[in-house]
Structure 1
Amino acid sequence: MDEQGSAKLQKATREKLKKFNHLRGKDVRTGEFWDIVVVTAADENQKDAYERQISEKLRRKELPLGTPYHVFADTPGPKIGNGGSTLHALQRLKEKYGQRLCGFKIILIHAGGYSQRLPNASALGKIFTALPLGDPVYQMLELKLAMYIDFPLHMKPGVLVTCADDIELYSITDTERITFDRTGFTALGHPSPISIGTTHGVFVLEPEAESKVCDMEYRSCQRFLHKPSIKNMYESGAVHKREAGNVSLGDSEFVYTDSTYYVDYATAKDLLALFKDIGPLSCEIDAYGDFLQALGPGATSEYTKNTVNVTKEESTLVEIRQMIFHRLKGTPLNVILLNNSKFYHIGTTREYLFHFTKDVDLRAELGLVSDAFSVCPCEATEKANVCVIHSILHSSCAVGPGTVIEYSRIGANVTVGECSIISGCWINSGQCVPSGAFMHSLSVNVHGKTGFVTIVFGIDDNLKQSVTSLQDLNNLKLFGKGLVECLSQWGLSAEDLKFSGDRCSFSLWNANIFPLCTDPEGSFSMSLEMIRSVHSGSDFKFPKDVRLSSLQQILQCKNLEEMLKFRNKLYEDICLEKSKN
C-alpha cells in the first residue's frame, strides 16, 4: 500500500474508533447502532462464559447500552458449522421477536469453536481476545463493533454476518457510503494476492464496460469460488490486473476475497424456510462456502460434491448442500469492493505474535501500542517488539522481543524469552521462561474445589494433529520433541498416558499431561519445570498422586468465576497504580 493509501486507512480507522468510544457506556438512539447484537457459541458452557463477560462489559460501560446482546449456543449433538449456527441463530431470533424482526438491523458474530490454534482464547472465547488498544483494553468484540460503526445508519433491515478472529480495515472518500440496501446477499470484497485466494473465498465479478479508479465500487458477482486453486481462479476470470492507483496492493495481479456479508430480511426468511425443510442438522455447514457458492447467475451445483475442504464428511452433507443450492439458486450476490482495505486474520499463535509485536502496518493503521492498560517497566516494551496487555510486571522484569503477555502478574527478576505467549499467569520472582513457549493458566472446578492448571506448549506445536494408535504417539511433537520422549523425561510411559474424549483419536489436545495444583503460582512453576526438562533433556518427576488433565478436560470444568475474578483484581490494581502517577 502506498503512503497516501496508508494515511487514508489510518485516518478512517481513527474516526471509527472515535465514534465507537463516544457510544461506549451510553444509551444509543434508534439508527445509530445495531438493533440487536448476536454472538454464537459452540455449546451451553461457552455461552455461559460469553454472557458473563458481556455482562461485565455492560457493567463497566465498555459497550453501547440500550441494545440487546444475545448469545445463542449451537444445539447439542453433531457440529453444525458457522452456516448451521447462522440458521439456528435466525430461528432463535424469530422465536424471540416474531414479526418485529422484519424491522431490525442485526449483527451476527460467529464465535463458536475452541480455538485449538490459539489456545489462550479457548476458555473465554476468540471474540474476547484482548488487543493492545484502548484504556481499558479493547477485545475483538469492541473492535468488530467499532469497525462496522457506520453500517447500521445506511442499511435496510437484515443481518450482517461476520467472524470473531479477523480484522477488516478500510477507507472510502467523504462522499461515499457503504450501503446495504440490495436484495439477496451483499459481501465486502478486499483486493488480495492470488496466493491468499487459495485459502479464502474469491469473487468472480460480472464484467463492466469501463474500469473505475475509486476506493469503493458496487459490483454484481457472477459466481463465488471457495478456496480455489490458482488455475481455477485464472480459468474463472477471477484474476484482475493492477492498474495505476486502482487498488491498495503492490501485486501486478490480484483477486477480491471475502470477509463479511449482509443478508436482507426477505432472504433471511428464505434461509429460515430452508432450515425448516432440512430439519435437525447432522453435519457442518459453512456460512461462506455452502451459502455463497449457491449464489449468482454462474453458480452450478458442482461444488456440492466437492468435499476437499471438509474437516469431517458426513453422509448427509451432499444432500443438504444440494437443498441449499436449490433454495438459494438465482439469489443475487452483490459485492462492495473496498479497494483501499486490509484484511488481517488473528487465529493462530504465529499470526497473533506477528500482528501484535512485529507488524508495523497494523500497528500504524489501528494504533496498537506496546503497553496497553498495564503496569510494567518502560524497558520491557520500548527497546524490543514486545506487547503487554492488562498485566502487572515488576520493574526488574526482562521480556524478549516478539513476546506477548496478557492478563498476567509477574514478579521480580523474572525473564521471559523471545516469541512466547504468557496468558493468565501468576509468575513468582526469579523464574526464567524459555523462548518459543506458550503458557496459559486456567482455573478449574474439581469435585467442588477450585484448582489451577497451566497448559504449556511450544508456539509451533500442532494441537489439532491426531494419531489413531498409541504406537504413533511420537509423531505428536511437544516443543519439537516426540511425545513419548517427553513422557519418559517426566517418568511416564505411553501406557500411563490417558486421553480424554474420543478413544480412537490421540492428540496434544486430549492428552492428560497437565498437573492440577492448588494455587496459580505453583501451577505455573510446575508446568515450567516440565518445559525445562524437555529443553535440557533432564528428568522431572510429578508429585505423588498428582492429577493430570488434558486441555479438552480443563475446558469442560473451567471455573469462569475464578478466572474473571483474577482479571478483575488485576484491573483494580492497575487502576490504583495509574491513579498514583
Structure 2
Amino acid sequence: MDSPQSTKVVHYMQDLFSKYDKIRGQDKNSGYTPFWDAVVITTADKDQKQGYQLQIEAKRKRNELPLNLEIHVITDPPGVKLGNGGATFTALSFLEEFYGDKFFSMKILLIHAGGLSKRLPSNSILGKIFSVLPCGIPCYQMLDIKLALYWPFVPKMNSGIFLTCADDIITYNMDNEGDWSLKDEGFTALAHPSSIEVGTGHGVYIVKEKRSVNESVQLAECTTVLQKPSIETMRKLGAVIDNENDTKNSTVYTDSAYFFTSSVSKMLLTYAKSHGPFNCEIDAYGDFLQALGTDPLSDYVNNLQNITTTSGDLLNTRKEVFKLLKGTPLNLIILNSSQFFHIGSMPEMLHNFCKSDNFKIGLGLSNDAFNVWLDEQSKEPEPVTKRSCLKGKNEGCLIHSLLPVGSCISSLAVLEFCNFDCLIHVSKNCLLSNCEFLGSSSEESQITIPENTFMHTIPVTIKDNLKYVTIVFHIKDNLKKSVPLTDFANIPFLGDTLGKAVDKLSIPKSQIVSDKNQPEVSLWNVNIFPLADTMSDSFQLALAMSMSFNDDGKALNLESYQLVSINSILKYKSIHEMLKYRQKLFDKINTQY
C-alpha cells in the first residue's frame, strides 16, 4: 500500500476510527456528525438472540458502545430458514411496530448476523458480529467496525435502511467527500472495483454512466445486476471495464452494503403484510438487487444454484419479489480506492490477519493486540513497557490473550482469547480460539501445536453439570459437506479421514451419530469430541487427538469418554460461562493498559 491513493485510504480509515473512539462511552451524537438513529441486528434463533443481547450489555458496561444508541436484536420466527431477505422483512415489520410512523423518518443500520458460521466455527457460539479484530484498546469487535465503517454515509442519507452483513469489511477513502448525497428514491449501493475473477463470486453491477465527485468517488446509475456471473457473461453484457494500458487487469464493479429509502421500506412492508408469513429462503442480494435497475434480467428467478434450501413456495415468491421491485432505480456510489474483504472462513481469517498488507495496514491492525506477556518465573504480568513480544511483519497474530514470554507464534497463525502459563509454539496455518492450559508443573514444558490446526474450547452444561469441549480440525476441513451415513469414513478430517480417526481414537461406531435415521452426516453432526471437567483438560484431549495422527505410538483412546458433536454443543452451550472467561481475561489484561 504505497501508492498515493492507498496512503489516503490509510489516513481516512485511521481518522474515521479515531472519531469513533471518541464517542465510545459518550453521547452518540457528540461526534463530528450525527450517528445512526438505531441499529438492528438479525439472528438465527432465540438462543443466538439471547447471546447477542448479553454481549451488547457487556459492551455497554465496558463503555465500548456510544451511549443512547438503540440496538435491537431480532430473530426470525421458528420454522423454515428465511435467508437475509426474509430477515429484512422481519426487521421492517419489527421497526414499524416498535417506532410507528417515526420509523419512516429514521436512519437505521441493519446488520444481518444470523447463521451458524460453519466455515469459521470459532464464531458459532457468540456470533460473527462479535468476532474480534486486532485493533483498538480494548479490541474492536465486528460490531464496532460496522458502526464506524458506514458512519460517513449517515449525513448523506435520507431516512431509510442501510443494509450490511456481519462477515465482511471494506476499506475506502472519500477524500473531502464533496457536496453529494444518496438519492431519495429507490436503492443506492456501494460498488468496488474488483478483478474479473473476484466478480464470479459476487454481485456485479453494469454501469450506465458515471459522474466524478472527486478522485475517489463516482456516482452512477446501474442498468443490470448480475449475481456470481461467469466471465463470459460479464464480458457479453458489458460489465467489464477494460484498462487501456493493461488489458490483463480489467475490472468489474462488485457489491457490498446498500441503502434503500423509506418509500421502499413501505413498499416492502405492504408486500409482506399481504403475502407473509414466508415459508422459503429469500436473498437480500440475489432476490432484491437483481430486480433493480433500468434493464433487469429475470432469468435468475428460475436459477436455484445458489439457494441453500428450496422449501416452500420459492419460485412463486421470487417471481413476486421481482415483479414488486422491477424497474426500481439502483444508484451506485463507486468507491474507486476501496477494497472488499471477506472473513467468513478459517483460511480467510488467517490470510487477512497475517498476510494481507492491504487489510492490515488499511485498518491499522496490530499483530500484538491487547495482550499481556507473563514472566515464566513469577507468573505475574510484565511491566507495561514489556507487554509486546511479537515483532516483525512475518510473525503471527495474538489477540486478547495471556502468554509466557518466549512463546512463539509462527507466521500465518492467529490466537484469540487464549490463556497459557507454559511456553507454547504455534506452527503455521493455525487458529486457536478460547483455549486455556494452566497448571504446568515442569519448567521445561512446552506445548507445540502442529501445522494446519484449528482449536476452539466451548463450555457446555449437560444435566446441570458444567463441562468443556474443544473442537479440533484441519484448517481446510469442510464442516458443511454432507455425505450418506454409509460413506462417513471417507470424510476428510485432521489431514486424514474420519474413518481413520474413529479407528485410531477407539471411538465406538455406535456413538458416531445420535440419530441413526438421519440420511446424511457431516463433521458438524458426528459425535467425536470428548467432554472434560476443565478447559485445560479439554485442550489437552483435543491436542492429543490431533497428535494421534502424527505419531503412531501415541494414539488417544476415547472409548470411555462422553462424545458430542458441534450440533449438540450448540444445544448445550453455556454463553454465560464463555463470557465470564473472556471477562476474566479482559480484567487481567486491562490493568496493564
Using the size of structure 1 for normalisation, the TM-score is 0.95
Q: Which amino acid in 2 is paired with 1:464?
A: K
Identity of aligned residues (%): 40
Shift of 1:153: 1.7
Q: Does 1:242 align with 2:243?
A: yes
Corresponding residue for 1:318?
Answer: 315
Shift of 1:319: 0.5
SS at match of 2:328: coil
Match of 2:551 among 519, 526, 536: 536
SS at match of 1:307: coil
Corresponding residue for 2:450?
Answer: 434
Shift of 1:67: 1.5
Q: Which amino acid in 2 is paired with 1:354?
A: H
Corresponding residue for 1:443?
Answer: 459
C-alpha distance in 2, partners of 1:252/1:158?
36
User: Structure 1 552/496 Cα, relative in aligned 2: closer, same or farther at 3 Å?
Assistant: closer
Corresponding residue for 1:8?
Answer: 8
Q: Does 1:425 align with 2:438?
A: no
8 Å CA contact 1:40–1:111 kept in 2: the answer is yes
Corresponding residue for 2:40?
Answer: 38
Q: Which amino acid in 1 is paired with 2:458?
A: L
Shift of 1:540: 3.2
Corresponding residue for 2:581?
Answer: 566
User: Structure 1 94/302 Cα, relative in aligned 2: closer, same or farther at 3 Å?
Assistant: same
SS at match of 1:485: helix
C-alpha distance in 1, partners of 2:574/2:334?
44
Q: What does the per-residue CA deviation read over 1:4-63, in whole Å, with 9 as the maximum and x for residues that have no partner?
A: 111011011011101111111001239611001111100000011111111111111111
User: Structure 1 359/250 Cα, relative in aligned 2: closer, same or farther at 3 Å?
Assistant: farther
Corresponding residue for 1:233?
Answer: 234
User: Structure 1 502/456 Cα, relative in aligned 2: closer, same or farther at 3 Å?
Assistant: farther
SS at match of 1:161: strand
Match of 2:77 among 51, 75, 78: 75
Question: How many pairs does the alignment contain?
Answer: 572
Q: What does the per-residue CA deviation read over 1:94-131, in whole Å, with 9 as the maximum and x for residues that have no partner?
A: 11111110111000001100101111111101111100
SS at match of 2:152: coil
Corresponding residue for 1:478?
Answer: 493
Shift of 1:169: 1.1
* 1:62-461 alignment runs, 5 A limit: 62-176=64-178, 179-207=181-209, 214-242=215-243, 252-376=249-373, 378-382=388-392, 384-428=394-438, 429=440, 430-461=446-477
C-alpha distance in 2, partners of 1:524/1:83?
39
Shift of 1:409: 0.0
Corresponding residue for 2:504?
Answer: 489
User: Structure 1 499/384 Cα, relative in aligned 2: closer, same or farther at 3 Å?
Assistant: farther
Q: What does the per-residue CA deviation read over 1:252-271, in whole Å, with 9 as the maximum and x for residues that have no partner?
A: 31100000000100001111
SS at match of 1:225: strand
C-alpha distance in 1, partners of 2:251/2:524?
37
User: Structure 1 450/82 Cα, relative in aligned 2: closer, same or farther at 3 Å?
Assistant: same
Q: What does the per-residue CA deviation read over 1:224-276, in whole Å, with 9 as the maximum and x for residues that have no partner?
A: 001111111111111112367xxxx9963110000000010000111111212
Structure 1: which 5+ runs fail to align? none
User: Structure 1 52/173 Cα, relative in aligned 2: closer, same or farther at 3 Å?
Assistant: same
Q: What does the per-residue CA deviation read over 1:393-431, in whole Å, with 9 as the maximum and x for residues that have no partner?
A: 011322222110000101222222211111001024432
C-alpha distance in 1, partners of 2:180/2:48?
33
User: Structure 1 543/464 Cα, relative in aligned 2: closer, same or farther at 3 Å?
Assistant: closer
Structure 2: which 5+ runs fail to align? 374-386, 441-445
8 Å CA contact 2:76–2:90 kept in 1: the answer is yes
Cα RMSD of the aligned pairs, angstroms, is 2.0
8 Å CA contact 1:193–1:251 kept in 2: the answer is no
Q: Which amino acid in 2 is paired with 1:340?
A: S
8 Å CA contact 1:484–1:494 kept in 2: the answer is no
SS at match of 1:220: strand
- The farther-off stretch of 159-168 and 472-481 is 472-481
8 Å CA contact 1:191–1:339 kept in 2: the answer is yes
Q: What does the per-residue CA deviation read over 1:370-412, in whole Å, with 9 as the maximum and x for residues that have no partner?
A: 1100013755444742100000001132222211000010122
Q: Which amino acid in 2 is paired with 1:356?
A: F
Shift of 1:314: 2.6
C-alpha distance in 2, partners of 1:544/1:386?
36
C-alpha distance in 1, partners of 2:477/2:12?
38
8 Å CA contact 2:372–2:388 kept in 1: the answer is no
C-alpha distance in 2, partners of 1:252/1:529?
47
Q: What does the per-residue CA deviation read over 1:347-383, in whole Å, with 9 as the maximum and x for residues that have no partner?
A: 1111100111111222211111011000137554447
8 Å CA contact 1:500–1:511 kept in 2: the answer is no
Shift of 1:441: 0.3
Corresponding residue for 2:24?
Answer: 24
